[in-house]
Amino acid sequence: MRPFSVYVHVPFCATRCGYCDFNTYTATDLGNQVQRDTFDQVLISEIQLAAHEMGSDRRPVETVFFGGGTPTLLSGKALVAILAAIEQKFGFASNAEITTEANPDSVDQAKLDQLRAGGFTRISFGVQSASPLVLKTLDRTHTAGAATAAIEMARAAGFEHISADLIMATPGETDQDLRDSVDLVTAGGVDHVSAYTLIVEPNTPLARQVAAGTVASPDDDDAAHRYELVDHLLTKRGFTWYEVSNWAKPGGRCQHNIHYWLNDDWLGIGPGAHSHIDGARWWNVKHPRSYSQKLTAGDLPIDQREVLTPTQIRMEQVMLGLRTASGLDLAAVEGLDDQVIAKLASDGLLDEAALAGGRLVVSTRGRLFADAVVRDLLG
């Protein structure tokens, strides 16, 4: 049986950030249609229903990941209750990795202690940047100081792994800002960093600002440069690159995400959450209200599903595998064109040593062209 994970989507945020296109809602967005303080019960009802539907397909859970949104907008008690429901229905594998995302300003020591005691092993903070100017452009409400404090509190609470998210190449960010950001999170003692170049997603306030010219358009060349810089800085501090936007200290890799990239199975709980089990993908209805209504009616809140064809499975395998440091086993993928591979290698996009060992792994330069490499490989 393939490894099995659970993702829980908490679709709430205190405020909406201008760059964000995730499926999340502020209290104002929701009005009184959805009760935030009883939403854990709705999520638990989906867990129970899904577990029932899976029947004998149920397996012990290797990893759980609470994402959002801002999961920590739910009470510590609620988060622990949801986790307990998962454990009750599926059981946990030994050394299961249990992560929650958190905003630096949505946690305090008591809550972190409560989460740790309730079974969470890993916490991932949305630090984004050490620069006040960048944080302001991103509409983030926390300060760099709050981020440092949150990481410190998480260490005190005893989390096994602490991760920080950074956003690079925000208009107005300087190289020094990025150095400061890396210093902030590494000094705090995180063992994992996700660093993303800013994407202007369509239909976001940021996209409108860029269109109106009030915020400069993020520059791809700047983004490439910052990427190289962040890779350099993290490598120097003992981190190792393992996926396009992810670096970890030894033992610090996010097991949950690795399951995604290996195309393993997972169940997604919550509005808009995606699932992938046994060659099928499906996703839930996006709005918390319609999501709740379906569950109240006793139905799974599924919006759409697709059964993957062998071609699509192969496509996903190549697309996901090439993002990672372990890459693809050449023997495991059929029909790749040797000439294309040779050309990619001679263009310096593939790691020669890995290739000699029968694996396709992007080179350092190739990481920034991973999508192009995938397109070429898939012809």
Partner 1 sequence: MPLPQPGATDPAVIRNFCIIAHIDHGKSTLADRMLQATGVVDARSMRAQYLDRMDIERERGITIKSQAVRLPYRGQDGGDYVLNLIDTPGHVDFTYEVSRSLAACEGAVLVVDAAQGIEAQTLANLYLALENDLTIVPVLNKIDLPAAQPEKYAAELARIIGCDPDDVMKISAKTGEGVPELLERIVRDIPAPQGDADAPARALIFDSIYDTYRGVVTYVRVIDGRIATRDRVKMMMTGEVHELLEVGVISPEPVPGKGIGVGEVGYLITGVKDVRQSRVGDTVTTAQHGATQALGGYRDPKPMVFSGLYPIDGSDYPELRDALDKLKLNDAALVYEPETSLALGFGFRCGFLGLLHMEIVRERLEREANLDLISTAPNVVYRVLNDEGVELVVTNPSEFPTQKVDKIFEPIVRGTVILPSEFVGTVMELCQHRRGLMLGMDYLSEDRVELRYTLPLAEIVFDFFDQLKSRTRGYASLDYELTGEQEADLVKVDILLHGDAVDAFSAIVHRDKAMAYGVMMTGKLKELIPRQQFEVPIQAAIGSRVITRETIRAIRKDVLAKCYGGDITRKRKLLEKQKEGKKRMKMVGRVEVPQEAFIAALSTSDTTSKK
99 binds partner 1 (CB under 8 A): no
Q: Taking the complex as a whole, how short is the minimal distance between the CB of residue 346 and partner 1, in angstroms?
A: 12
104 binds partner 1 (CB under 8 A): no
367 binds partner 1 (CB under 8 A): yes
221 binds partner 1 (CB under 8 A): yes
Rounded distance between C-alpha atoms, residue 271 and residue 291, angstroms: 6
Toward partner 1, which CB reaches closer, 221 or 334?
221
**Sheet bearing 192-197, strands edge to edge:** 240-243, 246-248, 192-197, 161-168, 122-128, 92-102, 61-68, 4-10, 265-269, 274-277, 280-284, 302-307
197 binds partner 1 (CB under 8 A): yes
Q: Residue 199 corresponds to which tokens in the numbers above?
A: 């994407």
Helix, strand or coil, per DSSP, at residue 237 = coil
19 binds partner 1 (CB under 8 A): no
285 binds partner 1 (CB under 8 A): no
Residue 148: count other Cβ atoms within 10 Å of its Cβ.
17
Q: Taking the complex as a whole, how short is the minimal distance between the CB of residue 292 and partner 1, in angstroms?
A: 19
Identified binder of partner 1 from the candidate list 20, 224, 333, 336, rule CB under 8 A: 224
What distance, in Å, lies between the first and last C-alpha atoms of the chain?
A: 32
Identified binder of partner 1 from the candidate list 306, 329, 337, 352, rule CB under 8 A: 306
Q: Taking the complex as a whole, how short is the minimal distance between the CB of residue 267 and partner 1, in angstroms?
A: 10
Q: Which of 261, 351, 233, 297 is nearest to 5 (CA)?
A: 261
Toward partner 1, which CB reaches closer, 183 or 220?
220
199 binds partner 1 (CB under 8 A): yes
Q: Taking the complex as a whole, how short is the minimal distance between the CB of residue 256 and partner 1, in angstroms?
A: 9
Identified binder of partner 1 from the candidate list 285, 333, 336, 374, rule CB under 8 A: 374
Residue 317: count other Cβ atoms within 10 Å of its Cβ.
17
Q: Which helix (H) or strand (E) element contains residue 251?
A: none
7 binds partner 1 (CB under 8 A): yes
Size of the residue set binding partner 1 (CB under 8 A): 41
From residue 341 to residue 360, the character string flagging contacts with partner 1 as x (rule: CB under 8 A) and all else as - is: ------x-------------
Q: Taking the complex as a whole, how short is the minimal distance between the CB of residue 52 and partner 1, in angstroms?
A: 22
Q: What is the DSSP string of 30-99?
A: HTTSS-GGGHHHHHHHHHHHHHHHHGGG---EEEEEEEES-GGGS-HHHHHHHHHHHHHHH-EEEEEEEE
139 binds partner 1 (CB under 8 A): no
| H-type alpha helices, the chain | 27-30, 39-54, 76-90, 109-117, 132-137, 144-157, 175-188, 205-212, 220-236, 255-261, 288-296, 310-321, 338-346, 352-356, 364-367, 370-377
Q: Interface with partner 1 by CB under 8 A: which range of 76-84, 133-141, 184-192, 318-326?
A: 318-326
Residues in contact with partner 1 by CB under 8 A are 7, 196-197, 199, 220-221, 223-225, 227, 244-245, 257, 260-261, 266, 268, 272-274, 276, 281, 283, 306, 312, 315-316, 319-320, 323, 347, 367-372, 374-375, 378-379
